[in-house]
Amino acid sequence: MMDPVAERKMQFLFSLRSHGVTNKRVLTAMEKVDRGKYIRGTFEDRAYEDTPLPIACGQTISQPSIVALMTEALDVQPRHKVLEIGTGSGYQAAILSQLARRVYTVDRHRRLVKAAREVFEAENISNIIAFTADGSRGLPEQAPFDRIVLTAASEDPPGPLLAQLRIGGIMVLPVGQSDAVQTLVKVTKTDEGLNYQELRAVRFVPLLEGLGKENT
C-alpha cells in the first residue's frame, strides 16, 4: 500500500495540475512546502484540501490552487527580489522563498507576522524577511522589486507599489470591490507603460491601509 502521506501529496499535486498549473519549479515548491505547518488548530487536518481556510485576525489562507496560479503568473526567477503584501499564514511567502533569492513580506497584523516568523525559523527558511507595516505603502526603502504579489484585493493596483516595481517587473494582485468577486490581474511594467492581463475570477479580503489593532 502507498504511504498515506505520499498518497496525499500525489493527490495534492494532481489537483494543482487539474487547475492548470504546469510550471515544474512551482509544482516542486508546492510539493516541498508543507501547508499543514502554516495552519493551526481545528483546520490542520484539512491542510491538503484545495480550499481557503480561516486563520487568526479574521484572515484566510488561500486555497493551494490559487497560490500556485498566482506564483506561476509571477514567473519568479532565482535571482529575483520579491515583495509580498499580506503575509497571512506565511504559506505564500514560503512558496516564493523556494523560487527567489529573497522575499520581503509585509502584514498589518503583528500577531500574524510573529506566527509566520516562528514557522519560517522552525522550517529553516532564511531568505524571508517579514515586517509589520502598512502594506498599501510597500517597502520603499527596499525597492525596486523584481516581483510584487498582493494577497488582498485593491480597487486598482496601488500607485506606491507600482512605483516600487522594477522596469520589466511583474505584479500579480486581485482587483475589484471587496464585497464582490474580483479579478486576478497580472501587471507587467515596461519602458512604455503598464500592460494588464486578466487571469481569472477570485475572492480575497480587502487591502486595508494602516496597521491592525494589536488586540486582534
Q: Which residues carry out catalysis?
A: 62
143: Cβ contacts below 8 Å, ≥ 6 apart: 163, 164
22: Cβ contacts below 8 Å, ≥ 6 apart: 72
Cell numbers given for 125: 527558511
d(CA 171, CA 174): 10
Distances (CA, A) of 35 to 27, 32, 64, 89: 13, 9, 8, 9
Position 81: which residue type?
K
Nearest Cα to Cα of residue 119 among 100, 96, 91, 81: 91
Cis peptide before 78 (omega within 30 of 0): no
64: Cβ contacts below 8 Å, ≥ 6 apart: 12, 15, 16, 30, 35, 48, 50
